[in-house]
Amino acid sequence: MFAQVFDFDGSASEAELREVVTRCEQLKAQAAAAQARATALWAEKRRAAEAEAGMPLRRRGRGLASEVALARADSPARGNQHLGFAQALVEEMPYTLAALEAGVLTEYRATLIVKQSACLMVEDRRALDRELCADTDALAGLGNARIEAAAAAITARLDAAAVVQRKERAAASARVSTRPAPNGMVYLTALMPLAQGIGVYAALRREADLCGDGRPRGQVMTDTLYHRVTARPAETPVPIAVNLVMADTTLFGDDTSPGWVQGYGPVPAAVVRDLVSDAVADEAAKATLRRLYRHPSSGQLVAMESRARLFPKGLAAFIGLRDQTCRTPYCDAPIRHHDHATPARRGGKTSALNGLGTCEACNYAKEAPGWTVTTTDTEGRHTADYTTPTGATYHSTAPPLPGPPPARRYSVVEGILAIDLVSRDAA
């Protein structure tokens, strides 16, 4: 069946290829609708099973959003969005679901409609659904912005007070984040109330208008932002207090393996060497070195364990450097918790092997009934297997340290010596 749907060859005409592209887009929309129906039914069955088992109402459904995200090979942080989208479509917005099934709406445009209607009561949400999507012919040709604007306009007309309350609640979601950019740059993003954001941008523009030292306008704005936030001029070296990890061979120029900066990711060797050399040369900056040992064959960190219930500071720092981001599969969120894979209440050790770096949401999700996490260490490769209540298992492997690939052959004595040195250092 699928071979016929997706089958085409190099002799196809442009018109035939256009039909293939159109057909695939319609199939994606239909698949999204089926996925939403299955997700909503899954949630219904989970609630029923937990109610029959006598689970308190406030604990029902815990961890399901993470299961949904894993099944979709997506970050668990998006699980609530997928689950809420499915339940809204199936239970409250039949016309939007029908338009999605017919391929008139894409999944993204259906998501925009659901998102704009999220603040409405059920009756008003159904009214929006009927007004906007009952006539599928009226949806033809509408792009993302027009779909979103139409849904927002209907929402404001049906319940203006709910829209105002949503904007007030949005202030609590203010945040600052970073993501890598090409050529050793980084995108620094701030989500803040409209007036504040416009005020910050206006102040930076004003500074650029007044500056006449020849620097590009964008550089003036970024230098000003850095100076006002850190109280350090942009031209002074940055203190290396950012958990910059690199191989000693890279530091001394013997290879060009990238380094790794916590909260950013891989950084070219030349850039990390410049960061270190600038900080060392500046008397006001502070740069410290800490020895880390990696397994000779896997390239991952090797470390120790503790008898304490909570992870000691040094062991927690080690786990953070080893895991880099949340260890749940597909989750790239920053590490917020250092927790036991096998809980301490079940005899789990406070050790590097049993320890995991996780974000807050993933840590709570794995504590829900039916979840198990098993860790193994094979030739220095730390692996965690996540098994969900439905029996699916997902694998996560800690990334190797920066530096050249480990030698294929190594001395057993050298491997034992490295591990022994770490154990002594931990003691």
Every domain of the chain and the residues it spans = 2-171, 174-235, 238-286, 305-426
Task: Give how far Cα 351 sits from Cα of 245, 260, 424, Å.
Answer: 22, 24, 15
- What predicted TM-score, i.e. pTM, was given to this entire model? 0.68
From 326, 397, 287, 268, select the one nearest 76 (Cα to Cα). 326
Q: What is the pLDDT of residue 258?
A: 77
Closest by CA to 62, choosing from 334, 342, 389, 392, is 389
Angle at 411 between CA 408 and CA 417, to 5 degrees: 120
Distance CA 391, CA 67 (A): 10
63 close to 368: Cβ distance less than 8 angstroms: yes
Q: At what angle do helices 107-116 and 144-158 cross, to 10 degrees?
A: 20
Show pLDDT as tens, one digit a residue, over the chain (427 residues): 455 667 778 888 999 899 889 999 999 999 999 999 999 999 999 999 999 999 998 888 889 999 999 999 998 888 999 999 999 999 999 999 999 999 999 999 999 999 999 989 999 999 999 999 999 999 988 999 999 999 999 999 998 888 777 777 777 778 888 877 877 788 889 988 888 888 999 999 998 888 878 889 899 999 999 888 888 888 776 654 456 676 666 766 677 777 777 666 777 777 767 766 666 566 665 555 555 555 666 666 555 554 555 677 778 888 888 888 899 999 888 888 988 998 888 888 888 889 999 998 898 888 888 999 999 987 778 999 999 999 999 999 988 766 666 654 444 444 444 444 444 444 4
Cα–chain center distance at 306: 30
Biggest CA pair distance of the chain: 75
Q: How far apart are CA 130 and CA 147, in angstroms?
A: 14
Encoded tokens for 73: 């090979």
How do the residues of the chain divide into helix, strand and coil, expressed in percent and rounded to 5? 50, 15, 35
Q: In this structure, which amino acid lies at residue 114?
A: V
DSSP state of 320: H
Inter-residue contact 329 to 386 (CB < 8 Å): yes
CA–CA distance, 52 with 194 (Å, rounded to integer): 47
The phi and psi torsions of 389 (rounded to 5 degrees) equal -60, -25
CB contact at 8 A, 136 and 102: yes
pLDDT at 328: 93
Residue 5: the pLDDT is 65
Angstrom distance (rounded) from CA 307 to CA 322? 20
Which runs of E-coded beta strand occur in 314-359?
A: 337-340, 350-351, 355-358
| Separation CA 277–CA 237 (nearest Å) | 9
Residue 121, classed as helix, strand or coil, is: coil
Q: What is the DSSP letter of 25?
A: H
* DSSP character string of 365-409: HTTSTT-EEEEEEETTEEEEEEE-TTS-EEEEEPPPPSSSPPPSS
Q: Please state the separation of Cα 21 from the chain's center in Å.
A: 30
72-111: burial string, b at 16+ Cβ within 10 Å, e else: eebbbbbbebbbbbbbbbbebbebbbbbbbebbbbbebbb
